[in-house]
Every structure is written in C-alpha cells, then in structure tokens.
Structure 1
Amino acid sequence: MTLAFAVKSKTLAKRDKDREDQALKWVKDVTGLSVPDDVDYVEALKDGQLLCTLMNKLVPGSVRKIHTAGPDFKMIENINGFIKGAKDYGVAMNDVFVVTDLWEEKDIAKVTDTIYHLGRLVHKHPEFKGPFLVPKPAT
C-alpha cells in the first residue's frame, strides 16, 4: 500500500455522511438555494459559490465577488472568499479548512467541521434570523 493511498483512505474514513447531509441542508436553508439530488456534497461546495452565498447571507457583502464561471483560479478565489469571511465572522483559524481541503478533496471532513463551527457562531449574532445548525444526536 502506498503512502498516498493510506492517506486517502484515512481521509475518507473521517467523513460522516449524516454530518455532511445536515451541513448541506443548513447551507441550503440559510441561502434559499437548492442543489439537485444527483449532485453530491463535494460537488455542491467545490466551486465555492454556495459557500460564498452562505457568507453573504450571514454578513451581507462579506464576499464582494462570487465567480459563477471561469478558470479554476476563479473558483479558488470563491473558496478563499468564504474562508476569509468565516474567519472574520469568528471561526477560529485552526477550525477553518484550507483551500486544498476542498478543492483537491484533501480533507472534506474539515470542510464539514468548518460549516459546523460557523453554524454554532450564528447563536452569537442576534441579527441572524435564519435556521440554526443543530447537530443530530449521536446514535
């Protein structure tokens, strides 16, 4: 077994489909956007558009430009816009994923964790009137 395969296997093992589904549902509820059923979690988030829209719902204007098309670096700019917005909103630096976690699918569980950290912070922002992200109880 190669090191790359071992790392990929460990990363996949950290993912939790229920947490991903719940995080994506919260993002869709807050943004009011829909994602077709045939689009998986990573595909829905990978271009950063949904995440930027989420940030702009939490803090209007926090992501000034959301790229809807263009070369890869434009989509990476979207992801960076979300990351900056999440940090500015109060998510601790060590709780925020890095671009490669999502763009190269290095650590999707970290992406989900970031969304959860962000979801927990909305309680501290009384101006937020949307739905809260409440983790499902462990089974």
Structure 2
Amino acid sequence: MASNRAEKAGFAAEAHSKINSKYDPQLSHQILVWIKDLLNEDIDTNGENNSFYETLKDGTVLCRLVNAIQANTVKKVNASKMAFKCMENIQFFLEGAQKLGVPSEELFQTIDLWEQQNLHSVQICLQSLGRKASKHGVHGIGPKESEANVREFSEEQMKAGQGVIGLQYGSNKGANQSGINFGNTRHM
C-alpha cells in the first residue's frame, strides 16, 4: 500500500531505518510456511519484505490463523478491501492473539502492518503466537514455552534449610577496614 505520509527526515529517518534493519526475511519465510501448513492454503512463502506484507496486509489470513489455533476466536472477518475494514481485521487478530496468551508487549500496532511502519514487530507477534499455539494443541513455531514447576516443601525441610550457611554468602578472608583513612588528607 502506498502511504500518504510524508517521507521521514533527520532523526525520524534514522530511527525508521534502524527499525527496518531488524526485519528478518528468513524469519518471515518460517512464519509464512507455518501459516501455510496450519491453514492448508496456497500462500506466497517467499518471506521478502513485500511478500510478507502483501500476504498479511488485509488481516484476513491473520484472522483465519487465530481461528485455526482456537475456533471462533475471531467471530467476524471482513472480506472488503476497504482500508478501515482491513484495519479492523488486523485489530480482530490482535484481540484474538491476546486471548490466546500473547503478552501485550509482543503485540504490534495496526499501523505497523497496514502502513509497513514496523514489520519486525509483526514478526515478533506472530512468533509469540506460534509459541502459544502449542498450548492449544496446534503445531507451533519457535522454542517450546516452559511450564510451571511448583515445588512443595514440608515444614521439617524448611527448618532444615534455615540452619545451612551456603557458600553463596561468601567470605571476607580476614579483610578489615584498617588503613582506610576517611576524611584525612593525603600526606606528602
């Protein structure tokens, strides 16, 4: 989509180029292959900047992705190609991703995808969703998330642990503060 925004200049241009430098085409390819396998649809998995954007920009693929992970997460997907309807689809995806457990820090802003402002944050969000997908019984991407390992100790074990002085407390090896002259002037 051609943006109607003015070209960035100065510090804004530097900041935007730094953000764009974080975009990883290989990660995009991996994400698109995962989406293709999960939706069982023929989508372009090239992963180049424009391909990634063109595949996801209207939000319909994203909404179908969330529904493939957990049915009826997104109730309505707009088929219209009008800008506000596409942005609404992206917002529906973001709400669905948050319901599936993606932390708010890993979500992107609608404008990041719609106007290609920050495709790296879109990658982060989809990668996080891929990790959360395995908790919903769907093949995900990325490393498997850890699960809680709660340990219960008896009162006797807790008391026994209080009497132990571990090596982590350290030792001063006989050091003291003699020879430190606070407030004295240096004698020459």
Query: For the superposition of Structure 1 and Structure 2, which TM-score range results when normalised by the shorter chain?
Result: 0.7 to 0.9
Measure, in 2, the Cα distance between the counterparts of 1:121 and 1:33.
21
In 1, distance between residues paired with 2:97 and 2:125?
8
Pairing 1:84–2:95 present: yes
What is residue 130 of structure 2 aligned with on the other side?
Answer: 119
Deviation at 1:3, TM superposition (A): 2.6
Inter-partner Cα distance in structure 2 for 1:97 and 1:36:
22
Distance 1:37 1:57 in 2: 18
Q: Does 1:41 align with 2:52?
A: yes
8 Å CA contact 2:132, 2:140 repeated in 1: no
Equivalents in 1 of 2:40, 2:141: separation in Å? 15
Residue number among 106, 114, 123 corresponding to 2:117 in the alignment: 106
- Deviation at residue 4 of structure 1 after TM alignment: 3.1
Which one-letter code corresponds to 2:67 in the other structure?
N
Deviation digits for residues 67-103 of structure 1, max 9, x if unmatched? 1224200000100000000000000011111111111
Quote how far apart the aligned CAs of 1:37 are.
6.4
Distance 2:81 2:116 in 1: 20
TM-score (ref. length: structure 2): 0.65
Give runs of ≥4 in structure 1 deviating > 6 Å: none
- Which consecutive unaligned segments of at least 5 residues does structure 1 have? none
The structure whose RCO (Cα within 8 Å, separation 6+) is larger is 1
Aligned to 2:154: none
* Aligned position for 2:147: none
The Cα of 1:59 is off from its aligned counterpart by 1.3
- The total of aligned residue pairs comes to 132
Which structure features the higher share of helix residues? 1
Is it true that 1:96 corresponds to 2:107 in the alignment?
A: yes
Sequence identity, in percent?
33
Tell me whether 1:134 sits opposite 2:145 in the alignment.
no
| Number of the residue aligned with 2:62 | 51
SS at the partner of 1:40? Answer: helix
Structure 2 residue 36 is the aligned partner of structure 1 residue 28? yes
Q: Partner residue of 2:166?
A: none
Could you tell me which runs of 5 or more consecutive residues in structure 2 were left unpaired when the two chains were aligned.
Answer: 1-8, 144-188
